[in-house]
Amino acid sequence: MPLKTFRQQLKKAGNKRTAETLQWFFKTAKGEYGEGDKFLGLKVPQIREIAKNSKDLTFEEIQKALESKFHEERLCALLILVDRYSKSNEKSKEGIVKFYLDNTKHINNWDLVDLTAPKILGKHLLNRNRKILFKFAVSENLWERRISILATFWFIRDKQFRDSLKIAKILLNDEHDLIHKAAGWMLREIGKRDMKTEEGFLKKHYKKMPRTMLRYAIEKFPEKKRLAYLEGKI
Sign of torsion, CA 151 226 25 140? negative
Residues 95-153 pLDDT 10s: 999 999 999 999 999 999 999 999 999 999 999 999 999 999 999 999 999 999 999 99
Handedness of CA 164, 169, 171, 175 (dihedral sign): positive
Contact 184, 215 (CB under 8 A): yes
pLDDT of amino acid 193: 97
Helix ranges (H only) for the chain are 3-13, 16-25, 44-52, 59-66, 71-86, 90-102, 110-114, 123-124, 131-137, 142-150, 153-157, 162-170, 177-193, 195-205, 211-217, 223-230
CA dihedral 27, 29, 32, 37 (to 10 degrees): 70
Please tell me the predicted confidence (pLDDT) of residue 121: 98
Q: What is the pLDDT of residues 181-197, one digit of tens each?
A: 999 999 999 999 999 99
pLDDT tens digit sequence for 36-76: 999 999 999 999 999 999 989 999 999 999 999 999 999 99
State pTM to two decimals: 0.94
